[in-house]
């Protein structure tokens, strides 16, 4: 927790120094609804060409932040700058942003062509130019030939592609995506993710992506902002967030993780009677703490002083197997290669070690 806060402060610190380069800069944004939900003191800098994901459970305020950027919500306080210019007083139509909505929001009474050309006509582009851009945009989202169709004649995935193309055509300084793929089925969602990432590389567009799907966030983002109860819990790269979760919330929200009750004396951490961190390097204050270990960071060992447990179940899930171990009154999940799983059976006594783990003090929180 302490570590995470320090990290956040340095992030915010660098942001304040480098405002000239940030494409989008949110400063101390607060918005509280009548219901008491909302966000407080959100600060975030997005660099040009970066894809930043706001991730969190529903109701954590991620959509509030996005809608504030797009101009659909008026924040109570704070500022939003795009390329160094405050956009707070601009209505949505004047902001250099474009949004892709969860529910596609194509206009059913217009053809795909007209849907795409709508924004360009308002910008008074030449007819030939509009025609060309629309064709290019449809090519980019792999929907050439759908121009004359009506949205109702397209599948969900195709409609979302059109919606994406419509937003891209506006050439926004920042593209906002509000859970764009959550209405699609799992397979299509994966495809769209890849496609979006490809489009982002091709166009170099700055994107802010909102999702509650941690897998989606991990797979497509340059940086992830984990939000919880209206506040930023952690802001870092996907790798870092997965390997070094800044708080217990982040640890349990992202990826699968085993949580174990443990105790710290300020230097060492122990689970039950076994000391798991002996080098005295821990920064966790003395008292109760929670140990978080990813299933892939557990291993079976023969070392004498390690944790002892009993295998409860072995489940083969394709190329790997999931092993449940009962250990110190906790149920641990562990991933092992399939070959190794063949030698394991339920009821077997084993010893487990940790490749790495993160400890969170329960004293400070």
Partner 1 sequence: MNWYFRSLGARRIVEFVLLVVFVIFFLGPLLNLLILAVSGKWQYPAALPQSWSLEWWQFVLSQDDVLESISLSFLIATVVTVCSIIVCIPAAYAFARIAFPLSRWFLFSFLLTHAFPKMGLYVSIAVLFYKFGLMNTFLGIVLIHMVNTLMFMTWIPSSAFRSVHRAQEESARDAGAGPLRVFWKITLPMAFPGIMVASIFTFLSSLDEAQGTLLVGIPDFKTMPIIMYSIIADYPNTTGAVFSVILTLPTVILLVAARRFVSADVLAGGFQVK
Contact 272, 278 (CB under 8 A): no
Which H or E element spans position 308? strand 307-317
For 113, the 3-state DSSP assignment is: helix
For 38, the 3-state DSSP assignment is: strand
Assign residue 29 a region: left if phi > 0, alpha if psi is -120 to 50, beta otherwise? Answer: beta
Q: Which DSSP state fits 357?
A: -
Q: Quote the least distance from Cβ 279 to partner 1, whole Å.
A: 54
Q: Which is nearer to partner 1, 118 or 320 (CB)?
A: 118
Q: Quote the least distance from Cβ 103 to partner 1, whole Å.
A: 6
Cross-strand pairs, 231: 228
Q: Which is nearer to partner 1, 100 or 298 (CB)?
A: 100
* CA-wise closest residue to 178 among 37, 92, 62: 62
**Percentage helix, strand, coil for the chain under 3-state DSSP, each rounded to 5:** 30, 35, 35
Q: Which is nearer to partner 1, 11 or 97 (CB)?
A: 97
Please report, as ranges, the residues that interact with partner 1 according to CB under 8 A. 70-72, 91-94, 97-99, 101, 103, 105, 107-109, 118-119, 122-123, 163, 166-167, 170
Q: Which is nearer to partner 1, 162 or 300 (CB)?
A: 162
Within 10 A of 264 (CB to CB), how many other CB atoms are there?
A: 22
Q: Quote the least distance from Cβ 221 to partner 1, whole Å.
A: 22
Within 10 A of 318 (CB to CB), how many other CB atoms are there?
A: 6
Q: Quote the least distance from Cβ 99 to partner 1, whole Å.
A: 5
Q: Quote the least distance from Cβ 150 to partner 1, whole Å.
A: 13
Q: Which DSSP state fits 296?
A: G
Q: Which is nearer to partner 1, 94 or 132 (CB)?
A: 94
Q: Which is nearer to partner 1, 55 or 167 (CB)?
A: 167
Q: Quote the least distance from Cβ 95 to partner 1, whole Å.
A: 8
């Amino acid at each position: 927790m302490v570590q995470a806060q320090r990290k956040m402060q340095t992030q915010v610190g660098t942001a304040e120094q480098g405002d000239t380069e940030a494409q989008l800069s949110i400063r101390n944004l607060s918005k509280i609804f009548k219901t008491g939900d909302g966000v407080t003191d959100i600060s975030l800098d997005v660099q040009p060409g970066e894809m930043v994901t706001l991730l969190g459970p529903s109701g954590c305020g991620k959509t509030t932040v996005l809608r504030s950027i797009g101009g659909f919500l008026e924040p109570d306080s704070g500022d939003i700058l795009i390329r160094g210019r405050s956009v707070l007083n601009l209505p949505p139509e004047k902001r250099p942003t474009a949004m892709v909505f969860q529910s596609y929001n194509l206009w059913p009474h217009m053809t795909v062509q007209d849907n795409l050309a709508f924004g360009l006509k308002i910008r008074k582009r030449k007819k030939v130019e509009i025609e060309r851009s629309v064709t290019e945009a449809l090519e980019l989202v792999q929907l050439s030939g759908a121009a004359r169709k009506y949205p109702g004649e397209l599948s969900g995935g195709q409609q979302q592609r059109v919606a994406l193309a419509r937003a891209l055509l506006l050439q926004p300084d920042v593209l906002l995506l509000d859970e764009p793929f959550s209405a699609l089925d799992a397979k299509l969602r994966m495809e769209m993710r890849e496609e979006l990432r490809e489009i982002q590389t091709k166009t170099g567009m700055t994107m802010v992506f909102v999702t509650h799907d941690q897998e989606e966030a991990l797979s497509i983002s340059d940086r992830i902002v984990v939000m919880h109860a209206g506040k930023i819990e952690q802001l870092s790269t996907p790798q870092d967030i997965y390997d070094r979760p800044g708080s217990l919330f982040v640890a349990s929200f992202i990826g699968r993780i085993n949580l174990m009750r443990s105790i710290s004396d300020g230097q060492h951490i122990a689970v039950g009677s076994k000391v798991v961190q002996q080098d005295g390097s821990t920064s966790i204050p003395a008292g109760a703490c929670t140990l978080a270990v990813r299933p892939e960071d557990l291993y079976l060992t023969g070392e004498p002083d390690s944790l002892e447990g009993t295998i409860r179940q072995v489940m083969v899930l394709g190329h790997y197997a999931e092993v449940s171990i009962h250990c110190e009154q906790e149920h641990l999940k562990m991933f092992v290669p399939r070959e190794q799983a063949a030698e394991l059976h339920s009821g077997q006594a084993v010893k487990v070690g940790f490749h790495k783990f993160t400890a969170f003090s329960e004293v400070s929180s």
